[in-house]
Amino acid sequence: MTMTNYLLFFIVVLQSVALFWLWRRLDMMASERRVEATTFDQMQRQISALQRNLQQLQQAPPPAPAVAAPRVVSRPQQPQALTEGATPYNQAIELFKRGFNAADVAEHCGISRSEAELILSLYRNSPTA
């Protein structure tokens, strides 16, 4: 083989490598675009749901003014169950999921406020929360 044949072979190999690299890069870009489109669609659905919720809240009649009732200091004997057979601690987690604060949860579930705060902190730090 002559020097020109070697050069020609080298150029063909170099072009093949460059084409393969470009093809892989385009494939990766298309994959990234699909992921971004999926994420965008999910965000659009979440925004739409939030807008519907906001409209429902705006259309709901305002709550009646609450008359401040005197607070009862004693603990309730039997906490009102959210679900049949639920422990006060499971009830507390459910109430935290619904947005109640520690004082309300403690009063509703019949546990101390410190217990409610402990459950809240554990629930917030839980990876399954």
Query: pLDDT category, 4, cuts 50, 70, 90?
Result: very high
User: Can you tell me the distance from the alpha carbon of 122 to that of 28, in angstroms, rounded to the nearest whole number?
Assistant: 41
Q: What is the pTM of this model?
A: 0.36
pLDDT (tens digit, 9 = 90+) per residue, 33-58? 999 999 999 999 999 999 888 888 88
User: Can you tell me the distance from the alpha carbon of 20 to that of 26, in angstroms, rounded to the nearest whole number?
Assistant: 10
